[in-house]
Amino acid sequence: MSGTILIADDHPLFRQALALAVSAVAPSARIVEAGTLANAAKAAAEATDLRLITLDLKMPGAIGYSGIALLHAEKPDVPILVVSSAEGAQVAEEARAFGAVGFLRKDADLTRIEDAICAALDGGAAPAAAAEPIEQVRREVAGLTPTQLKVLLAVLEGKLNKQIAYDLGMSEATVKAHMTAIMRKLDVQNRTQAALVARSLGLDLAS
């Protein structure tokens, strides 16, 4: 199977282990590695033949499920398989809610990881049945554009528009325009409310 597979994880040894698993099931695939969310988003945007993304939730630049949301917004048709040490019964369900096709813990055995990679490459792992409907606001967060998500994450970090504009290489007016769009999508009145909504939905999951 040809194409590119992106492995996003901040631990070099685990990236190597995942690369071996990928090579076992897709020996002709080109493997690209990224150790930060910013590098992962850049690699995803640049890859024209991306077939799969494996993603760790806890990596530099990520806040909670923001890595899934950002990469899903960047490449909505590319399956994202989360392989993470994050714990909690709701983590897998939340990961799927933000756009992942599957979730595995890092302590899963190699055979299970290979099987999950195969399933994702064959059209996406079947999502688990949700115990309750996904709230509309969660869909809206997952539907923000990559730039809007970057702005929202910066707001979560407490940055002002001037700082956000500098970090993202845009004007303050553009940041304000993105904030207006974000608040409209989330149906809130100000940036504080937007941050609270994002935090309540798991974007501020403890790292």
Q: What is the largest CA-CA distance in the chain?
A: 51
Backbone angles phi, psi at 5, to 5 degrees: -120, 125
The pLDDT tens digits for 96-106 are: 888 888 888 88
Minimal CA–CA distance to 49: which of 25, 29, 27? 29
Domains of the chain, with CATH numbers?
4-121 (3.40.50.2300), 136-200 (1.10.10.10)
Higher pLDDT, 206 or 55: 55
| pLDDT score for 1 | 62
The pLDDT tens digits for 8-27 are: 999 988 888 889 889 989 99
Decide if pLDDT at 81 tops 90: yes
Cβ atoms 41, 66 nearer than 8 A: no
Radius of gyration of the chain (CA): 17
Tokens of 16: 């190597």
| pLDDT score for 136 | 61
| pLDDT score for 133 | 37
The pLDDT tens digits for 161-204 are: 999 999 999 999 999 999 999 888 887 888 877 877 777 666 65
The pLDDT tens digits for 107-141 are: 887 888 888 899 888 875 544 434 343 456 666 77
* Cα 72–Cα 56–Cα 201 angle in degrees, nearest 5: 60
Q: Strand, coil or helix: what is 204?
A: coil
Is 0.75 surpassed by the pTM of this model? no
Backbone angles phi, psi at 179, to 5 degrees: -65, -40
Backbone angles phi, psi at 4, to 5 degrees: -110, 140
DSSP for 113-135, please give it: HHHHHHHHHTT-PPPPPPSSPPP
Decide if pLDDT at 32 tops 80: yes
The pLDDT tens digits for 47-74 are: 999 999 999 988 888 877 888 888 988 8
Cα–Cα dist 151/130, whole Å: 29
| pLDDT score for 134 | 43
Decide if pLDDT at 206 tops 60: no
Cα–Cα dist 45/75, whole Å: 7
Bridging pattern class, strands 102-105 and 80-84: parallel
| pLDDT score for 30 | 94
Q: Mean pLDDT across the stretch 145-165?
A: 88
If one counts every other C-beta atom within 10 angstroms of the C-beta of residue 43, the result is: 20
Decide if pLDDT at 144 tops 90: no
